[in-house]
A and B are shown apart, each in its own frame.
Chain A
Amino acid sequence: MTIAVAMSGGVDSSTVAAMLKAEGQELVGLTMQLWNQRRLADKDGMPEQVQGRCCSIDDVYDARRVAETLGIPYYVVNHQERFERDVIRPFVDEYLAGRTPIPCSLCNNHLKFDQLLLTARQIGAEQIATGHYARNEYDPVRGRWILKRPADASKDQTYFLFGLTQEQLSRSLFPLGGFTKPEVRELAHQYGLALANKADSQEICFIPGGDYKRFIDAYLEEQGESVPDTAGELISVGGQSRGKHEGVHNFTVGQRKGLGLASPTPLYVISIDHDRKQVTVGAEQELMRESLRARRLNWISIAGLHGEMRAQVKIRHRHEPAWATLRMNDEDEVEVRFDEPVRAVTPGQAAVFYGGDEVIGGGWIV
């Protein structure tokens, strides 16, 4: 049976290809062309050197070299339209609506484990392997595919994978789940991969330099749309005006820098009200929340939630899971009540529920 390897040109996915090849698996390497960096290169304020990762020619070159070294067929597939529709546009719209999106989760849900998996199946590969740090096992007792945290807790990517369906999980392989990053680099060396020392990618792949505000401006300009006027007031928790701001998309809950306010104590963004164009600021303790609501849920280790359930809940990628009780408010909304208040619950981010190492499921914070 042929396995398609999603190859980004980085160390992780290249090592996956080498590992599976060494196991004697029949492979085909695929790289998704997702975004053309040159599209916005001439727009105001965009970095001159636009060298994003998953979309740059250099990375495609690296992936192709790995495939050649391993002697596996390799193709670049064009999924730019799907990426723009399902990742870029929602990313921009979420910010404009005063939320803080996670494009990596959208890309996993719509591109890697949907469109790319479909392409893989269309060309005769029934499974897809990626360089994600996660584990994925079938539990015959529960009759479900279980997504688990990886051996390397510092590289855990399960937070971005909570949206995978059982069908998607059944066709996905995460061969790096049992390894630490240093071990993976060591393996890359052992397999003779020239890119074993290549730097890890950190930022959002389509925003080289990481300045998402400029990206949004440039994208809307390219689309012939004007940035909607969401300028308004900065207010205190008590409702008093503290100043003006230039648009809700410039803020994220918990943000401290760039508020443009003088204050004896540090001020943070507490909440964003898109309809009123108001950004509430306050002291750090105002950020603490005892509960949150999440919608558009996906369940992994259980078929659905009935009654209450105890779980550890992660509310952003770099967040130590906090104990909470889950309860359904209605068919597609879960209420999460934390044992201890958590800091900066951010609409647009995901709440992912863990039971020990297992991902129970998750949803989008509203």
Chain B
Amino acid sequence: MRPFLVGQFGNASSIHQEGQLARSAVEQARGRVALLLGCRPSEVVFTSGGTESDNLAVFGSVKSGDYVISSSVEHHAVLHAVERLVDRGVEVTVLPVDGEGVVSAEDVRRALRPNTRLVSVMMANNETGVLQPVEAIGRITREAGVRFHVDAVQAAGKVAIDVEAIGCDLLSISGHKMHGPQGTGALFVRRRTRLEPLFAGGAHERQRRAGTENVAGIVGLGKAAECAMEGLRGGAVERVRELRDRLETGLREFASGVNGGRTARVPNTSNVWFASLDGEALVIGLDLKGLAVSSGAACSSGASEPSHVLRAMGLPIERARASLRFSLHRQTTVEEIDRAIELVATQVVRLRELSAVPQ
């Protein structure tokens, strides 16, 4: 990334050699992202992140009179986009999930209508890590000739992604969710998929995303994709899963359960429930000790709101509020996990003592 931040400022769309250098770097990155997703380089559209990728997929596909199917555990980038469609004369079905947070492929089939334009279901949930049956849904949408978008932001780099195996037409990823730079992302757009661009402007990205390329960011995203591929080939999935299991085993004594823990998940995410505790206080207390975890979603002021994902799983609001998300990555160590267990244990004991005081 560095050369493109400190000296090489060529515009990738320019004719001159500086520009050609940038173009070459962008195309190299495109190739790396294509390898990660199992698609052609020409099917990769660079964006400003997962949110833009999701928005492009949704708004670029749908027009008034269409019908869209999505799920209640989608990231807000999809959920709020889909909600906005309702105002534009689009009919929307938001499918429920089971107690583990899984969407039923059969529900998708049953929800199909003749005018179904788009099915959008995520690959892995960002709060619980729960994997959705995207391949089964892909078979259904293919059979029905319906466009299928997969938000794979939380899955990319954590598990193998193959757009052919999934059978999707659109798939979103984000750079910062796989050690890449923030503000970068990509959308896989299957060949011959018509997509209305979000922005009016130049002919960048095969007329799908106007605007001068964020060359440094794209290069970073490409590198992150390459590293993710290496990690996946080198057994990162198993290693991270072992660490996650170590964390969950270590917390078993203090925790009350793992949300979505009884179904397949990406290996790096763990959503742990601590009965009768205030998740927000737990998050802050742990942060002050140097452990960054999260709870629910942040509202505009920075306070946390109870997770819509956990609520959609049918969990009571108290449980949603008493749940924390732990995220691991390829470089997480055993020592870090053990230290985290220790910190959480101390904090949970402290909170339980204080909560015993009647309000």
Measuring CB to CB, which residues of chain A are less than 8 angstroms from any residue of chain B? Answer: 28, 31, 33, 36, 57, 60, 64, 73, 75-78, 80, 114-115, 118-119, 121-124
Contact = CB atoms under 8 A, between A and B. Distances in A.
Contacts of A60: 301-302
A33 B278 contact: no
B350 interface: yes
Contacts of A73: 287-288
Given A77-B280, A78-B280, A123 B288 contact: yes
B301 A28 contact: no
Given A119-B281, A122-B351, A28 B303 contact: no
B280 A33 contact: no
A114 B287 contact: no
B303 A122 contact: no
B284 interface: yes
A122 B301 contact: no
B305 interface: yes
A77 B303 contact: yes
From B288, B302, B354, residue with most partner A Cβ within 10 Å: B302
Interface string B295-310: 0000111111100000
Given A114-B359, A119-B280, A119-B281, A78 B303 contact: yes
Contacts of B350: 122, 124
Nearest to A118: B354
A28 B284 CA distance: 10
A28 B354 contact: no
Interface in B158-193: none
Contacts of A115: 359
Contact of A57 (B282, B300, B357): B300
B38 interface: no
Contacts of A33: 299, 301-303
B302 A123 contact: no
Contact of A123 (B285, B303, B305, B359): B285
Contacts of B305: 78
A60 B302 CA distance: 9
Nearest to A79: B303
A313 B350 CA distance: 42
Interface string B225-250: 00000000000000000000000000
Given A33-B303, A119-B281, 12 more contacts: A33-B302, A64-B302, A73-B288, A75-B284, A75-B287, A77-B303, A78-B304, A115-B359, A122-B281, A122-B351, A122-B355, A123-B285
Contacts of B351: 122
Contact of A31 (B285, B300, B301, B354): B301
A358 B350 CA distance: 35
Given A114-B359, A118-B359, A123 B301 contact: no
B205 to A, nearest CB: 34
Contacts of A118: 281, 354, 357, 359
B274 to A, nearest CB: 12
Nearest to B277: A122
Interface in B261-296: 278, 280-282, 284-285, 287-288
Nearest to B282: A122
A130 B305 CA distance: 25
A31 B303 CA distance: 9
A75 B301 CA distance: 10
B359 A77 contact: no
Nearest to A74: B302
A122 B284 CA distance: 9
Contacts of A64: 302
Nearest 7 interchain pairs by C-beta: A78-B303, A33-B303, A122-B281, A76-B302, A123-B285, A76-B303, A60-B301
A119 B278 contact: yes
B354 A123 contact: no
A6 to B, nearest CB: 14
A80 B303 CA distance: 10
Contacts of B281: 77, 118-119, 122-123
Contacts of A57: 300-301
Given A78-B304, A114-B359, A118-B359, A123 B284 contact: yes
Interface string B345-359: 000001100110101
B354 A121 contact: yes
Nearest to B283: A75
A73 B302 CA distance: 13
B37 to A, nearest CB: 37
A78 B282 CA distance: 13
A113 to B, nearest CB: 12
A218 to B, nearest CB: 21
Contact of A122 (B299, B304, B354): B354
23 contacts: A33-B301, A33-B303, A36-B299, A57-B301, A73-B288, A75-B287, A75-B302, A76-B301, A76-B302, A76-B303, A77-B284, A77-B303, A78-B303, A78-B304, A115-B359, A119-B284, A121-B354, A122-B281, A122-B351, A122-B354, A122-B355, A124-B285, A124-B288
A122 B287 CA distance: 12
Contacts of B278: 119, 122
Interface in B94-109: none
A203 B357 CA distance: 34
A197 to B, nearest CB: 23
A123 B305 CA distance: 18
A64 B280 CA distance: 18
Nearest to A86: B359
A115 B281 CA distance: 11
Contacts of A119: 278, 280-281, 284
From A33, A57, A115, A122, residue with most partner B Cβ within 10 Å: A122
Nearest to A61: B301
Contact of B285 (A36, A76, A122): A122
A55 B44 CA distance: 43
A64 B301 CA distance: 10
A115 B357 CA distance: 12
A73 B278 CA distance: 19
